[in-house]
Amino acid sequence: MLDASEGYTTADGRKIGGVVMEMKNITLRFGGVVAIKDISFDIREGEIRAIIGPNGAGKSSMLNVISGFYVPQEGEVWFHGSRRPAMRPYEVARQGIARTFQNIALFEGMSVLDNVMTGRLNYMKAGLLSQALWRGKAEREETENREAVEKIIDFLEIQHIRKTPVARLPYGLKKRVELARALAAEPKLLLLDEPMAGMNVEEKEDMSRFILDVNDEFGTTIALIEHDMGVVMDLSDRVVVMDYGKKIGDGTPDEVRNNQEVIDAYLGVAHD
C-alpha cells in the first residue's frame, strides 16, 4: 500500500502529493442509526478521490462530515497535518474546503454573478462603513474579486448567463454555476456531491471535462461522490467504497473493480 508521507504517480503520469485530509476512525450516529462506522481514509494533494457505494451507504454523510455540517461522535478529522477541532461549517469553509450539493443549493433569488461572488466571501474583508459608502476597501475588493470571478466564469463557459437570475436557468447550467461558486473560493479541497446526477450523456461529458480541467489547471484536490460507475472509474485516481456505513474497499479503480466485497455489495450475494 501507499506510504503515508510520500505521494505516488498516477497511471496517466500525474504526480500526487502528500496527505491533505485524513479521516481517522470516523463514526457518525443519528440516535440509534449508525450512518458511518469506523471509517478511515485519506485524500492526497492533487488527486481526484471518489467515494462510491449503493444508496444509503453513508457517502453524503461522509461529505457532510468533511465539510463540517455533521460532527462525528468518534474519530478525528485531520486537515493539512493538524487535527481539526469541532467547528461551524462557515469556519471549515474559511479553511479552504468548498463543496457543491446533491440537490442544487444555489441562491435562487440572486443572479449567477452574485452567486459566484458569494463563493469569494473569504476574500472580502471590508468593514460596514466602507461598504455603506462604496469607497476605499469595499470598492477595491469588489473589483479584484470580480476579476477572479470572471476568470472562473470564463473557465466554465457561463459568460452568457452572468446576469441571469439563477431561478431561470435549466438544471445542467445550475450544476455548472454551483461548481463555479465552489471554485470561486479557490479551495484547497473541493467536494462534489453527485455532480452528474440527472444529466444526459452530453452534459455528463461536459461536466467530466470541467472536473478534469479544474484538477489539471488549478491543481485542485477533489473528492467526489458519483453513481455513474463509468464516470467514476474514468475520472478518479483512487476510490473509497462504502456499504451500510462501512468501508469495504479502497484503492485505484482497477483494484476496486476486482474487489470481491465490492462486487458483492453492488451485485448482491446469495445468503444461505
Partner 1 sequence: MFYREAGDFKTSYQADSQTFPIKFDRYRYYVVLAIAFGIIPFVINDYWANALLLPFLIYAIAAIGLNILVGYCGQVSLGTGGFMAVGAYACYKLMTAFPEVSMFIHVILAGGITAAVGVLFGLPSLRIKGFYLAVATLAAQFFLVWLFNRVPWFYNYSASGQINAPERDTFGIIITGPNAPAWATYLFCLIFLTACALIARNLTRGTMGRTWMAIRDMDIAAEIIGVNPLKAKMTAFAVSSFFIGISGALFFALYLGAVEVGEAFGIQKSFLVLFMVIIGGLGSIFGSFAGAAFLVLLPVVLKVVGADMLGWPTDIVAHLQLVIVGGLIIVFLIMEPHGLAQLWRVAKEKLRLWPFPH
Question: What is the binding site for partner 1 (CB under 8 A)?
Answer: 67-69, 88-90, 92-94, 98-99, 101, 105-110, 114, 117-119, 121-122, 124, 126, 128, 131-134, 138-139, 141-143, 146-147, 150, 181-182, 185
Q: Where do the DSSP E strands lie in 7-130?
A: 8-9, 15-16, 19-30, 33-44, 48-52, 74-79, 82-83, 97-99
The residue among 27 and 131 lying less far from partner 1, judged by its C-beta, is 131
Q: How far is the CB of 125 from partner 1 (least distance, A)?
A: 9
Closest CA to 99 of 192, 174, 226, 185: 192
For the CB of residue 139, give the shortest distance to partner 1 in the complex, in Å. 7
CB of 194 to partner 1, least distance (A): 15
Cβ-based nearer residue to partner 1, 43 or 93: 93
Q: Which one, of 251, 225, 249, lies nearest residue 237 by Cα?
A: 251
Shortest approach of partner 1 to residue 224 CB, angstroms? 16
Nearest approach, Cβ of 123 to partner 1 (angstroms)? 10
Q: Which residues face 78 on adjacent strands?
A: 22, 83
> Which residue in 123, 235, 116 sits closest to 183, CA to CA?
116
For residues 34 and 71, the answer to whether their CB atoms sit within 8 Å is: no
DSSP category for residue 213:
H
Choice between 154 and 254, CB closer to partner 1:
154
Judged by beta carbon, residue 68 or residue 245, the one nearer partner 1 is 68
Nearer to partner 1, 19 or 166 (CB): 166
